[in-house]
Structure 1
Amino acid sequence: MTQQTQQSKGGKEVLIISGAITVAFVIFGILFPDQLSSGSSWLFGFLTAKFGWLYLISVSFFVLFALGLAISPYGKIKLGQDDDKPEFSNFQWFAMLFGGGMGIGLVFWSISEPIMHFLSPPSAEPGTTAAMYEAMRTVFFHWGIHPWAIFATGGLALAYFQFRKGLPFLISSSFEPLLGDRIHGPIGKTIDILAVFATIFGVATSLGLGAGQIVGGLNNIWGIENNTLVTSIVIAVITVIFTVATVSGLHKAMQMVANFKVWLSVAFMVFLFIFGGTVFILNIFTNTTGGYFGNLIQQSLWMENESFIQGWTVFYWAWWIAWAPFVGQFVARVSKGRSIREFLLSVMLLPAGFGFIWLSIYGGAAFNLDAISGGAIQAAVGADYTTGLFATLQQLPLYALTGPLAIILILACFVGAADSATYVLAMLTSNGSMNPSKNSRTAWGIAQGAVTIILIIAGGSTILSILQTVSIVAAFPFMFVMLFMCYSIIKALRTEKI
């Protein structure tokens, strides 16, 4: 049997096993939603209580690994052959990195998270000015350099072994220095299955939050009831839309959606910056940026308030690890011809910097308008955290226009994330093919929607808890994959002539 035949067979094995696990999960969730919910709660408590420290140490290591590698002599090595040139101009590349950071999560949490931390801060007195600044610093921490160091590490492995070593665009390829040809065997396929598992549930978390925010907006604007059934219907309808678009080959339409999402996002930022309190926002940005960098090392390993760390930071670190195959694939594909140093520093710092501006504008406007309105926004978030964005826009002019536009923005982010995740899942189960079949993409699109709906049903009124749980559980084994991946990258780089 030739190596190509073995790889093809291995790709089918990954597809069959991953598909079987997904189908089994969906069936179990349909038949035993209560057991899924209770089992998830137990797993959440066990992993966060026993291994929360490991998530913090591992993610801190990824930051040090990426920074150390970027400034080392290996940083000048190209992601490609020595004479390869970047496929995109610097402006195009930077724009795509920024675009990769504008997803459902950032739209969802940019107002709700600061307000939630303000009401229940890690250490400050709730509802005080100190709590506001601590809340913003915590949000910067969760959306700053740490997550992008995770994505940069995963993306580096994919880009280096694909573009420089000519291996399949698979997570398992990054273990070639350690496993040799065994990356095409059971061990390699297990790694790829773990990547699929992490991607499914990491993205399902985002889709679940996005759907909840859409329904929260529909309730806020038009009074449509916010319940599990309506949320599930929203997910099902959007799943049909992006799946049909994928099957029909409407690539231009999807590109238009992506471009529209970027411009609408920028429009909202400008609108909030102008009408949400410009000076207040600039003060928030300045103070929080200084506090973020001044407390970065201590906050990276801070566990004094364990319940807060387990419910927020551990959840985020797990969520980002689960997203590593997804976002890593995106940043790798657009970075051929870049040096390792250029890649790592740009991926870590540019999207994080953009995120700081985004969060300062949204969070700053929310705090300013909340004070002006006598606490209307914190009251809304306290009652339903999915309505934070709409409660903020409601305090500004043109809500009859901006409210529906906000729902459209979330829909665009939802469709974009689901479409990209479907493509990545199809690629991971097609032996790293850059152009997976439409059948594969269709199947994974439907599966992604089904998994998200099951999580919504199982979560019920505690949906955030079960979404946190699946991210943490999915990321746990993949965290070890990424740690060994770092060692494998170093071993491969040592063979380079520098």
Structure 2
Amino acid sequence: MTNSQKTATGAILLPVFIPTVIVTLFLIVGTLSNPELAGEVFQSALAWVTKTFGWFYMLATAIFLVFLVCIGFSRWGNIRLGPDHGDPEYSFPAWFAMLFSAGYGIALLFFGVAEPVLHFSQPPNATAETIGAAREAMQIAYFHWGLHIWGIYGLMGLVLAYFAFRHGLPLAVRSALYPLIGDRIYGPIGHIVDVFAILGTLFGLATTLGLSVTQINAGLHYLWEDIPINTTVQITAIGLITLAAIGSVVAGMDKGVKNLSILNMGLAVFIMVIVFFVGPSIHILDAFVQNTGSYLSNIVERTFNLQAYTQSDWIGNWTLFIFAWTIAWAPFVGLFIAKISRGRTIRQFIFGVLAVPTLFTFLWFAIFGDTALYLIMEQGKDVLIGEVQADHSVALFQFYDLLPWSTFLSVITVFLIITFFVTSSDSGSLVVDSLASGGALETPVWQRVFWASLEGIIAATLLLAGGLGALQTMSILAALPFAIIMLIAALGLWRALVIEGHRGAAVEAAATPGRAFSNEGSWRKRLSTLFKFPGEAKVTHFIKDVVEPAMEEVQKELAIHGWKANITREENGVTFQLERDEKLDFYYQVVATEHEIPEAHSENSKYDTHWQADVYIRNGALGYELYGCSQDEVIRDLIDQLEQYFNFVDAAPGQLPWNTVS
């Protein structure tokens, strides 16, 4: 099976699907049989891991962030995640809305008020409920939800997007290991990695869904006291959210997830604006600027601070817990970010993923967290401290109770929480479905419905049995091996980018304008093309009548030698693809593209643009066109490119860490 076939199929990959379902059932039954014991075992294991490997979590997180920033500023930042001539699939607002909704939009609603208030009342290095505690509380919140979180998500997303869209590997976590194990990613090792990623995603989503419906329940009870806080209401909420998620995954990425994500961002910004204007606006702006500056000036110290001399449990209960949880979620969020990032350059991807969500997060905490602290310190609303400590899920609604328009804000927030849950569930279902299908980008509807339904069933079942906390803790334990996988993936990405530079030099040497013309009389033909500016119809007919038959001739000749080549006809061009079992397919495309008339000829032309039959390989345009060539000349150019492909990929395999560059 070729790489292209592996990524195109929408069928369930049984070596991944069957073990995933079996392990899922085993964990559910085991947790249901004794949730208290399961919770104790997993909690003890988590405490041991964070205490023993806390240094590793912090160091790995720092490496992820520094690596991304260095890549973003390097010459490799101009490389596009896909063909060089491609464009981003989604506009920047839609892209940001989707990555934010899938990433941790719901976390901001849950922790935006709760975390600053909790750190203010119990700071690790300051006197409780003082100005120093307030400053430290906001610094901790910024650190926990700032650049480091998105560095983890961004690295995983970049690795997967690069290997999938630049080199044709499956959009699956297994592809991150290609530099290490090569084509064995399609065997048992790759299956195990994807099963592991699916389980982490599946139980992470299910437990978050189950635990967080308590916030919905709290909000509904706050608005309508007749609605009790109990499991019946929460199970009903899970059922309704699951149905909405099923509707979204059936609609697909463009109609479902994208539209819901844009709605989420619109509502979140709307709530932020209202709280900003009814709250202490000037104080919020002052705090935002000061906290951001303090964050940047202290980021290195906080990154490597493990409280080694105080031996406090705080670092394990907060910082390490959050970073470990993020690493455990990296396969899900990273793969989803990769899925929606095709066509962006590496620099756009990195700074879009790091800078924009981080600044939005800082502004969110300034508006909600600093306003909450202002109400406590300046207006004596310290009752909020006790309410938050008693129940984190009601923090946001108790905060609204101290502001004007509290009921209106609560109604919008409950709706926003629900839509965030739906977005997380449907995006998670799409990711799990893709992983269970070997990285397929398009899958049958029933598969997406199956995974979305399974998430809701797991959440509801474990909520009834009280086993959600145990499964959540188990999911976080998965962070340790995944951190190692991510470090290996970062090394593989660096090596691939080095090879990319060599490939670019080879392509540049091959991209000589006019190379397709024959030697005899070629100068007259080349000279005549300088004064020809054909329209779309002429170029389209040329591709159909000259280029396509030339490709068919080469296809027939290759078949005689036992090589299978496919020709794909598109609206504006034709593609020749040579399938190879062990290496990336050869890809040669001729496309009718529109260009501006050169300035030197613009006065003599009644049109502003003309059309060319441009030549592309997998990674982009070669810088010349074929219009005016004979069929033999097109064949010669195609064979020249095929020869370049074989020379680069096969000539010196010992010098390349892996052979996937065309």
Query: Taking structure 1 as the reference length, what is the TM-score of the superposition?
Result: 0.92
Answer yes or no: is 1:303 the counterpart of 2:306.
yes
Match of 1:167 among 169, 187, 190: 169
- Residues 131 and 250 (structure 1 numbering): CA distance in 2 closer, same or farther, change over 3 Å? closer
- Residues 437 and 48 (structure 1 numbering): CA distance in 2 closer, same or farther, change over 3 Å? same
Offset of residue 106 of structure 1: 1.4
Q: Write the mapping of 1:351-390 to structure 2, written as runs, cut at 5 A.
A: 351-371=357-377, 372-390=379-397
- Structure 2 match to 1:443: 450
CA contact (8 A) 1:37 1:459 kept: no
- Residues 299 and 184 (structure 1 numbering): CA distance in 2 closer, same or farther, change over 3 Å? same
Answer yes or no: is 1:67 the counterpart of 2:74.
no
Which sections of structure 1, spanning at least 5 residues, go unmatched?
none
Which amino acid in the other structure matches residue 328 of structure 1?
Answer: G
Offset of residue 277 of structure 1: 1.1
Offset of residue 99 of structure 1: 4.9
> Matches of 2:85 and 2:344 in 1, distance apart?
11
Answer yes or no: is 1:472 the counterpart of 2:500.
no
CA contact (8 A) 1:105 1:210 kept: no
> Matches of 2:484 and 2:290 in 1, distance apart?
36
- Structure 1 match to 2:195: 193
Which amino acid in the other structure matches residue 367 of structure 1?
Answer: L
> Matches of 1:79 and 1:244 in 2, distance apart?
30
Match of 1:123 among 113, 125, 141: 125
CA contact (8 A) 1:175 1:488 kept: yes
- Structure 2 match to 1:484: 488
Q: Which has the higher strand share?
A: 2
Offset of residue 356 of structure 1: 0.8
- Residues 24 and 87 (structure 1 numbering): CA distance in 2 closer, same or farther, change over 3 Å? same
Of 23-32 and 92-101, the range deviating more from structure 2: 92-101
> Matches of 1:467 and 1:252 in 2, distance apart?
32
Match of 2:51 among 49, 52, 62: 49
Indicate the percent of aligned positions where both proteins have the same amino acid: 37
- Structure 2 match to 1:327: 333
> Matches of 2:471 and 2:384 in 1, distance apart?
24
CA contact (8 A) 1:366 1:392 kept: yes
Offset of residue 228 of structure 1: 4.3
Q: Write the mapping of 1:103-182 to structure 2, written as runs, cut at 5 A.
A: 103-182=105-184
CA contact (8 A) 1:97 1:350 kept: no
Answer yes or no: is 1:391 the counterpart of 2:393.
no
Of 112-121 and 364-373, the range deviating more from structure 2: 364-373
Offset of residue 205 of structure 1: 4.3
Secondary structure at 2:62 match in 1:
helix
CA contact (8 A) 1:104 1:414 kept: yes
Secondary structure at 1:403 match in 2:
helix
> Matches of 2:498 and 2:451 in 1, distance apart?
38
> Matches of 2:177 and 2:368 in 1, distance apart?
41
Offset of residue 185 of structure 1: 0.4
Match of 2:498 among 489, 494, 498: 494
> Deviations for 1:157-206, whole angstroms, at most 9, x for unmatched residues?
11111111011111111222221110100111111112112212333343
> Deviations for 1:207-258, whole angstroms, at most 9, x for unmatched residues?
2343121122223333343344543342233223323554577974655433
> Matches of 1:145 and 1:393 in 2, distance apart?
28
Query: Taking structure 2 as the reference length, what is the TM-score of the superposition?
Result: 0.70
> Matches of 2:6 and 2:336 in 1, distance apart?
27
Q: Write the mapping of 1:252-271 to structure 2, written as runs, cut at 5 A.
A: 252=255, 255-271=258-274
Which amino acid in the other structure matches residue 449 of structure 2?
Answer: T
Larger radius of gyration: 2
Offset of residue 264 of structure 1: 1.3
CA contact (8 A) 1:202 1:470 kept: no
Q: Write the mapping of 1:14-53 to structure 2, written as runs, cut at 5 A.
A: 14-53=16-55
CA contact (8 A) 2:276 2:367 kept: yes
The size of the alignment, in residue pairs, is 495
CA contact (8 A) 2:6 2:170 kept: no
> Matches of 2:132 and 2:394 in 1, distance apart?
24
Which amino acid in the other structure matches residue 407 of structure 1?
Answer: V
Which amino acid in the other structure matches residue 286 of structure 2?
Answer: N
Offset of residue 359 of structure 1: 1.3
- Residues 357 and 205 (structure 1 numbering): CA distance in 2 closer, same or farther, change over 3 Å? farther
Answer yes or no: is 1:79 the counterpart of 2:85.
no
